[in-house]
Amino acid sequence: MEGVKFYSPGDLATGYLLKQAEEIIVGYELNSLKDINIVLELFNCTLYLDNKVYFKNWTEEYIEHLNEKCKGIKKDISCYFTNISEANIENYVKDIRFNFAEDFLTLFCKYKLYNRIGEGVFTRILERDYFSIQQICHYQKLVDNYETVVKNVLLKNPLNAELLFDQFVIDHSDALSKKLYFPKSLTKSEMSILIDSYIDTEKANLNYLRLIVNNHNTREFFVSDELKWKAKKHIHKQEEMHFRDNSGLEFGYEIIFQKDLPEPVIAKSNGREASITFNKTWLEAHLDFATILQNFIWFFNFIDSNGRITFVSHTSEISALENVLGLKSNRDYPRGIMFRSKEILSNLMTSAYYMFLKSQSITFEKVIEWFFTDYLYKEFKVTDYYAVLPTDGATYKEKCRDILPEMEFILSQFKSYVEYGYINHDLLGISSSGFLYEQIPSLIGKKYVYPNEILNVPFFYMFSDQSGLGYINNEINSDTFYELIVKNDINYSEFNNHQQLEIDVLCKLGYLNVDEKGLINWTNERRIKVLYELYHNEVISYYRMQPQIREEIDLMVQENLIMFKSSLFSKPEQDYFNYYLNNAKFQNGPQLRNKYAHGTLGSRPNIDEDIHKQNYLVIIKLFILIILKINEDLCLYDMVNETEQSK
């Protein structure tokens, strides 16, 4: 048996293990500790009470009774640890179950065993693998008190370089991840030597090697260009070896333009193959520039009905399996399978439409110039908006180098228009401030709605497929609790005890109610709709919602559940542009703007024109998205003003 283990108050096994912990605490007799694993299990039992994890039917008197029992248990544990010394510690640690190892180290620190266990004995304990160096590094007191020992063990094994990346590079958004501590005497030079030896070892993990290549250096952690180059060569060598006889899974997308379709668009999917067929007859009959841009909304779905870019990455789209497989840096853009699929499809649609328009003697550059120089004045009376894009005769490399700064100038002009009511070209001409997508303002005050952290708990319980609340039995189950309730009439009694604890939380927060028959219902369906949108899309465009939903949003803002922010791009959209164009926030993106501006793509002789063409089409896609967002902002601004004036 593994024994009772406390993981966290919200762990899925809490209800089941709490029952066992209750029985152990109630049945414990003082001064009966004989075995180290029993001691550590009892310690875990007390943690449930310390963290106020109770069953709903426990009375205050019963809780007080259990707490009194725990006081006696803790006193016995303290006495037990006073008997541990240099002479006998190995007799204790050699029998510790793996799942209790860190509990022992916690109590080792709590009872200050480092004051009576010397470096020699501690070294022997590590050499005999009773504890891993990673487990030791979770405890600052151990690292500080055994600094020389810990440092020697760290530097002895090249694979310990992974610990450096675990602490300084890898994303620790998982609440259960624990901080690592390293000896203060560990120098950057020694870290580099450890990383170098890691790259050379045959056991080097491809995921960590990729982290080395993409690492964004900081004061705390630095990887030299030479090490990045060396790791890149090692990756290439490993990939050639692993994939020589394995081509992997094939996925296919097909974009078709066909005459005389009964519908504007027909989409088909068959396992790993998908096709989208567009009505070529209709497209040929509507070649005016305004309709060409509208096609990116109505045909190609670049923007959804809430005015949001559809190709961005969302945390809700990344499965638990994807999070487990592979490693993600804290400066990585989340590129899950869903995002990659959307990326491929959007690039294909842009490329296909580019070729179609080219066959009609129309270029994207002319459409873009028309939007800024003609359309914005005719539709919104915006004057002096300049856009000069490359001519037809330019190479794709030249187009990439010329369009990227023009894209930034377009957004700088919009920023000026929002701030001054007109485009202040005199000020733009002397401005030397840096360009940030986060700083492009909106004409609308309450543009976007974002969730506050307080919503993380209901988000997880209602919408995550990891909460476990979507499962009743083999006949009644869904991926999430939300889907389960929407599709079925579920009685509170059908859930297990540990699930009921979580449902009780949702009831206490006011999202659920249980009627007299025990049926579970939404307390406020409008609020659930807001939560659903925020969980899956991370943001809501306030004025694109129905008036009744806006009223609910206003109430939720007053309750500090959500907040308003104003900007041209939503936060997910800002991240999307930063991912593609620079390394200001993410280290795993194409960094197209930086690479063309600094010459690493625009000037290198070994980059062929096909690569520049692919980059050009991505840049055009981003430019089209900017146009759609600017148009959306101006249209919303007019709509809001008309609504206010009509009141």
Please give the share of the chain, as a percent, with pLDDT higher than 70: 93
Place of tokens 């700088």: 412
- To the nearest whole number, what is the mean pLDDT of the chain? 90
Specify the pLDDT at position 386: 94
Instruction: Give the model's confidence band at 644: pLDDT under 50 very low, under 70 low, under 90 confident, else very high.
Output: confident
Residue 289's alpha-carbon distances to 372, 434, 592, 626, in angstroms, are: 12, 32, 27, 16
Average pLDDT of 292-314?
Answer: 95
Inform me whether the pLDDT recorded for 276 exceeds 90: no
Instruction: Give the model's confidence band at 603: pLDDT under 50 very low, under 70 low, under 90 confident, else very high.
Output: low
Specify the pLDDT at position 606: 62
Place of tokens 């060409």: 292
* pLDDT tens profile 161-207: 999 999 998 876 654 568 899 999 999 999 999 999 999 998 999 88
- Of 94-108, 460-474, 601-615, give the range with the top mean pLDDT: 94-108
* pLDDT tens profile 108-153: 999 999 999 999 999 999 999 999 999 999 999 999 999 999 999 9
Specify the pLDDT at position 244: 58
Rg of the chain (C-alpha set)? 30
Structure tokens at 216: 């964004």
254 or 230: which carries more pLDDT confidence? 230
Specify the pLDDT at position 331: 85
Structure tokens at 492: 């509170």
Inform me whether the pLDDT recorded for 291 exceeds 90: yes
Q: Is the dihedral of CA 74, 77, 83, 86 positive or negative?
A: negative
Average pLDDT of 592-603?
Answer: 80
The answer to whether the CB of 276 falls within 8 A of the CB of 267 is yes
Instruction: Give the model's confidence band at 604: pLDDT under 50 very low, under 70 low, under 90 confident, else very high.
Output: low
* pLDDT tens profile 61-99: 999 999 999 999 999 999 999 999 999 999 999 999 999
- The enclosing H or E element of 540 equals strand 540-541
> Which string of DSSP letters, residue by residue, matches 141-190?
HHHHHTHHHHHHHHHH-GGGHHHHHHHHTB---STT-------TT--HHH
Phi, psi for 70 (deg, rounded to 5): -65, -35
Specify the pLDDT at position 599: 74
Specify the pLDDT at position 13: 55
Structure tokens at 472: 């009743």
Structure tokens at 608: 């062929």
Average pLDDT of 288-316?
Answer: 94
* pLDDT tens profile 334-374: 988 899 989 998 999 999 999 999 999 999 999 999 999 99
How is the chain split into domains, by residue range?
14-219+226-242, 286-445+569-646, 448-565
Specify the pLDDT at position 175: 46
One-letter amino acid at 321 equals L
Specify the pLDDT at position 253: 76
Specify the pLDDT at position 53: 87
The answer to whether the CB of 342 falls within 8 A of the CB of 311 is yes
Average pLDDT of 234-250?
Answer: 69
Average pLDDT of 462-472?
Answer: 90
Inform me whether the pLDDT recorded for 248 exceeds 60: no
Give the largest Cα separation in the chain, rounded. 91
474 or 535: which carries more pLDDT confidence? 535
217 or 619: which carries more pLDDT confidence? 619
Inform me whether the pLDDT recorded for 160 exceeds 50: yes
Structure tokens at 403: 């369009």
Inform me whether the pLDDT recorded for 10 exceeds 70: no
Specify the pLDDT at position 242: 64
Average pLDDT of 614-630?
Answer: 97
Q: How far apart are CA 142 and CA 146, in angstroms?
A: 6
Least confident of 54-58, 157-161, 529-533: 54-58
Please give the share of the chain, as a percent, with pLDDT higher than 90: 69
